[in-house]
Structure 1
Amino acid sequence: MSDLTANPAVVTTAHRGTATAPPEFLFDVVAAVENWPQFFSAAVHAEYLEVGDGTDVVRRWFLTPEEGQVVVRTARRHLDRAALRITLEDIEPQAPRTASRVEWLFTKSASGSNVEVVHELTLADDTTDEAYAAAVADLERNAAAQLDAVLDQGNRRELLDQLVLSFEDPLFVAGRAEDAYEVLNEADKWPERIAHVARLTMTEDEPGIQFFDMDTQAPDGVPHSTRSVRVCLAPRLIVYKQIKLPPLLDAHTGHWRFTPTPEGIIVAARHTVTIKPSALAILGEGTTIQDARNYLRNVLSANSMKNLQLSKAFAEDRARG
């Protein structure tokens, strides 16, 4: 359910819904901004810039409706668990925005919880009609999608515990983070360097924001075509999100993290996937969720280790001079 009011300067939209989960659970879902990319279709990455007692600063990367674009927003959050209320205020709004505020409120109901999310957006006085209409449409679309994602987690929380698989594979590298990072950042060269990558076309119109289409082959010979967006934060982190998925998955996010140690670095590959229950038969009649988890853990880890070994060899060759 949505209410929308607007004047030439301020747009306010309210969306409401219900879920079977308790409000405390839903509060935690929204508060865990680092998990948004797995469940919110537009979210790509989130980081905490400041962490305090009930107040923090978070930076979030979002896909825009325009193909191949990402926007970055930084907000100060106030988390009031006693009142089950979360508010966010943009620190540096991007034109045509001059201010942006979001409030989430969770209350108990007879069947679980009521959830309300209110967005208030202030636009510059000289905003064109076209930019105004685009801002309102973007606000409505994102608010509705975010609320739907929160309610879905609340209504499917027990099933999602089974459907979501997350793991990390680390590898020690006797070299520099900058060198290990370089070879994984250069995804356009993977078909020459990594056996399971058959084709990859990449664009990087904005430094550090990459979009690419890739054809790969799993260890069992099954081909996959995917499209991904990556946020590259040299030399410490490369985050990715698949935006065109293989049939078995509803979501796939992950990262490569480069952590210095006194002896070298640890390069860690993380995968988080959400299994699509209706697609289990792709792996054979009678396939269970656990079967799919086992399959994905094996396939994704095997491919990750190839990338990690490439990064290790490249960095250690550089270190040897």
Structure 2
Amino acid sequence: MSGERVRRLVHSAEVAAPAEAVYALLANAVRGPLYSPEVLHVERMDADGDRERLRVWEDSGGGVRCSLWARVAHPGARRIEFWRLRGEAPFTSMAGQWTVEERSGGRSVVSVLHEFTVAGDPDGAEAVRAALAVKDSARGALRGVRRIARGSGGSRQRVLTFQESLRVEGPGEVVYDFLYRAADWAGRVPQVRHVEVSEVSPGIQAVNYRLRLPDRTERATSSLRLCFPHAGRIVYKQTTPWAPVAAHTGEWSVLPDEHGVRVIAEHTVLLDEDALPDGGPAMPGRENTRSSGADAQPSRGSTEAWSQGNAGRSEDGAAHVLAGAGESRGRQRPDPVPQSGRGQERSAGQGPAPGSGGGVREAIGQASRTILEQAGRHAESAVRALPRR
């Protein structure tokens, strides 16, 4: 950063959770999209000990920006350094660090430092806008960390992670094509009442739709989707989630095997307990409610204020949520799970009431199960239509 004026901004917030628990949130970058509004998706590129490189997709207001980051964790000091690997206008450089300090009463203070340089006049309008963008990003991330860490005990659970899965005896390309063409879901998927899809740029879709919930109400929402056809993946983030959902990220995966494909819908949902009936709890018990014991881990990563990380709750609950959540290195696929019926798998449920955490899980799960079934029928129909030899 020599030869240019370095701007330095520090933002802090008191958090109702122990320092070790908050640091664990920050040290696991996979869940940045849950609490940072502009972060859409993160992927871990590689790692060496406490060092890692990340690819981060962000909503840049009318477009999607992909950038490369590196960071180094210092667990003993509860500090995480981060820096952008390539300058992106208007920034010519960006670096900083997260720190967490212990306070009395099971509380802590989390701080984020940004040091950056901007092309052109260091006091010009562009530099002022850049500083405001950094400030907004840092404050938004701190609000997210406080919201996730806030809580009143180990019985309260904010983050739901679950999946639906289907075996399809058909070509993966046809299955993926159905998932990609979300504009065709209305009329074929009963829960999806209306869909509008636009291409933000090649492989990036903005989707606006209305979803019919199990209680027969309808909710309008929108998502940004990142499509990776060669990998058989579509990842997305809801950009206008509906209460009590504070954030919702997910992924569609098409995995080939010997006789067809396995299609997986993965979901990670952050619940706003203040929006739940009587304040919660959202869902008792373990954080992960997965299908038949499958262990689906999302990719790791983050943003400008990306090194924030995971999701948790205060006191013992914060540490409980973090236990075993996404600490594995790199991207992992779920292990095979037993099949039943036509191949559909689903997590066990207990008829939750609409508006509860369980109701959210059932509404999302029901819609994704139906989409999986329609994708399977679409592929199997394509196979039957092939000329016989």
TM range (shorter): 0.7 to 0.9
Please tell me whether the aligned partners of residues 169 and 269 of structure 1 are also in contact (alpha carbons under 8 angstroms).
yes
The offset of 1:142, in angstroms, is 0.2
Q: Which amino acid aligns with 1:13?
A: L
Identity of aligned residues (%): 27
Matched, 1:44 2:108: no
1:298 corresponds, among 347, 355, 362, to 362
Offset from partner CA, 1:242-264 (integer Å, 9 cap, x none): 22222332222211122232332
The offset of 1:278, in angstroms, is 4.0
Please tell me whether the aligned partners of residues 99 and 123 of structure 1 are also in contact (alpha carbons under 8 angstroms).
yes
2:190 corresponds, among 157, 179, 195, to 195
**In structure 2, C-alpha distance between the alignment counterparts of 1:101 and 1:145, rounded to whole Å:** 18
Please tell me whether the aligned partners of residues 218 and 299 of structure 1 are also in contact (alpha carbons under 8 angstroms).
yes
Change (3 A) 1:15 1:75: same
Q: Which has the higher strand share?
A: 1
The offset of 1:316, in angstroms, is 3.2
2:55 corresponds, among 53, 56, 59, to 59
Matched, 1:261 2:257: yes
Please tell me whether the aligned partners of residues 9 and 125 of structure 1 are also in contact (alpha carbons under 8 angstroms).
no
Change (3 A) 1:75 1:319: farther
The offset of 1:61, in angstroms, is 1.3
Matched, 1:88 2:56: no
Per the alignment, residue 271 of structure 1 pairs with: 267
1:312 corresponds, among 369, 376, 389, to 376
**In structure 1, C-alpha distance between the alignment counterparts of 2:153 and 2:57, rounded to whole Å:** 28
Per the alignment, residue 157 of structure 2 pairs with: 162
* SS state at 1:57 partner: strand
Offset from partner CA, 1:22-44 (integer Å, 9 cap, x none): 22211221122211112222221
* SS state at 2:185 partner: helix
Matches within 5 A, 1:121-270: 121-125=116-120, 129-156=124-151, 158=153, 161-234=156-229, 235-270=231-266
Considering Cα pairs closer than 8 Å and 6+ residues apart, tell me whether 1 or 2 has the greater RCO: 2
The offset of 1:89, in angstroms, is 1.3
**Structure 2 unpaired stretches of 5+:** 284-351
* SS state at 1:313 partner: helix
Q: Which has the higher helix share?
A: 1
Change (3 A) 1:161 1:62: farther
Offset from partner CA, 1:218-273 (integer Å, 9 cap, x none): 23322111121112222432122222222332222211122232332221112222
Q: Which amino acid aligns with 1:314?
A: H
More displaced stretch, 23-32 vs 188-197: 188-197
Per the alignment, residue 3 of structure 1 pairs with: none
* SS state at 2:147 partner: helix
Change (3 A) 1:288 1:117: closer
Please tell me whether the aligned partners of residues 96 and 127 of structure 1 are also in contact (alpha carbons under 8 angstroms).
no
Q: TM-score, normalised by structure 2?
A: 0.73
**In structure 1, C-alpha distance between the alignment counterparts of 2:265 and 2:250, rounded to whole Å:** 7
**In structure 2, C-alpha distance between the alignment counterparts of 1:18 and 1:280, rounded to whole Å:** 24
**In structure 1, C-alpha distance between the alignment counterparts of 2:128 and 2:32, rounded to whole Å:** 26
Per the alignment, residue 79 of structure 1 pairs with: 73
More displaced stretch, 270-279 vs 210-219: 270-279
Number of residue equivalences: 310
Q: TM-score, normalised by structure 1?
A: 0.87
**Structure 1 unpaired stretches of 5+:** 1-6
Please tell me whether the aligned partners of residues 51 and 73 of structure 2 are also in contact (alpha carbons under 8 angstroms).
yes
**In structure 2, C-alpha distance between the alignment counterparts of 1:296 and 1:117, rounded to whole Å:** 33
**In structure 2, C-alpha distance between the alignment counterparts of 1:20 and 1:219, rounded to whole Å:** 35
RMSD between aligned residues? 2.5
Change (3 A) 1:95 1:128: farther
The offset of 1:54, in angstroms, is 0.7
**In structure 2, C-alpha distance between the alignment counterparts of 1:33 and 1:57, rounded to whole Å:** 11
Q: Which amino acid aligns with 2:250?
A: G
**In structure 2, C-alpha distance between the alignment counterparts of 1:157 and 1:29, rounded to whole Å:** 18
